[in-house]
Amino acid sequence: MSGRGGKSWDVLVAGGGPVGVYVAIEAARSGLSTAVLEARPGILDKACGEGLMPAAVTALQRAGVRIERKHCFTGIRYVEGDLCAEGRFVDGPGWGVRRTELHRALRERAEEVGVTMLVHRVSDVRSDSDGVIVDGYRARYLIGADGLRSPLRRSLGLELEPRLAPRYALRRHFRVQPWGPFVEVHWHALGEAYVTPVAQDEVGVALLFDDRSRAPGDVDFATLLSRFPALAGRLAGAEPASAVRGAGPFEQRSRRVVNGRVLLVGDAAGYLDPITGEGLRLGFMSSIAAVEAIKTGRVDDYDAQWRRLTRRYRWMTAGLLALRRSPLRPLMLPTLRRIPQLFDRVLGELGEQPAGLART
């Protein structure tokens, strides 16, 4: 049976951000007719750290996504005061990529593989024996990729209350040459600063803070940056390359990530915190798993698969969030500095990719 416009699809995707477009690419590459429903036309931006872990890079390469303007980094450097500790990736470099560059490259690849992009805000989702009807558009399956505060997750009754104190971020870019082959994480008792090289002459700076700061609307970028004197000194006089953008609160929880013929991926499926820099990696991994579940007709298995994919991230992120408020936090950098192979192993655990990811 046809839907709106006399057409139906195998897969509709609610949300046209990076994860929404990526899952659409994966679906189309698998031979499924696919359309993306997104209310905002064009290239989308959002506040984020913009560092892609090695497994996320592999996922993009697998999908045939080509990104010209990027900057490779070889690991993560933690900094607090005069102390620093460095961990290196074992599975190749990560990429620093402006969110707008990433989205543009994904959109181009989606067009190449035949994804239909529709400017539309999802408001009504219904199911019948043949599939789903989304505001008159018909498909066999709907994939929800509509972000942190997913209206789809909420409308399906899947949303759970957060457990943690809210955390927020502000991000801005600066025209300055990156000063090392790492993403830097500067630690402070009240938050963190992430510095990601995104080009030969540009870095992105994301400042994270929590409820112990003033209300988010009253905290400005300069005030937060002043908590990190060494970083503020490096950026002194650097020309801003973007406006300040905000994000948060981060923690979002879901009862489950499958509801009949609706599957949630990326932040819409649930998210804890960006402290480990894994948002896009998890979004791409969940996209691959969701499409595989649809292809094999085992959609109900996706919920357990998503929990397996994100288990290590959730454990490690919860541990870091607890540690940053703990009296033991000052011991973290000295320990990692004294045992560098421990830091390498942690990065390897966080960036582990499922078997078969490199398959094209």
Q: Is 35 left (phi over 0), alpha (psi -120 to 50) or beta?
A: beta
Longest dimension (CA), the chain: 66
**pLDDT at position 354, please?**
54
- CB-side neighbour CA atoms (13 Å) of 158: 24
Q: 158, 255 in Cβ contact below 8 A?
A: yes
Q: 251, 163 in Cβ contact below 8 A?
A: yes
**pLDDT at position 319, please?**
87
Tell me which residue of 199, 198, 204 sits closest to 231, measured CA to CA.
Answer: 204
Q: 257, 264 in Cβ contact below 8 A?
A: yes
Taking 70 as the pLDDT cut, the residues of the chain under it are 1-6, 214-218, 349-360
**pLDDT at position 331, please?**
85
**pLDDT at position 6, please?**
60
The verdict on pTM exceeding 0.75 is yes
Q: Which CATH class is domain 4-51+99-162+251-325?
A: alpha beta
**pLDDT at position 327, please?**
87
**pLDDT at position 165, please?**
87
- Determine how β-strand 182-188 pairs with β-strand 75-80: parallel
The helix (H) or strand (E) run that includes residue 61 is helix 54-62
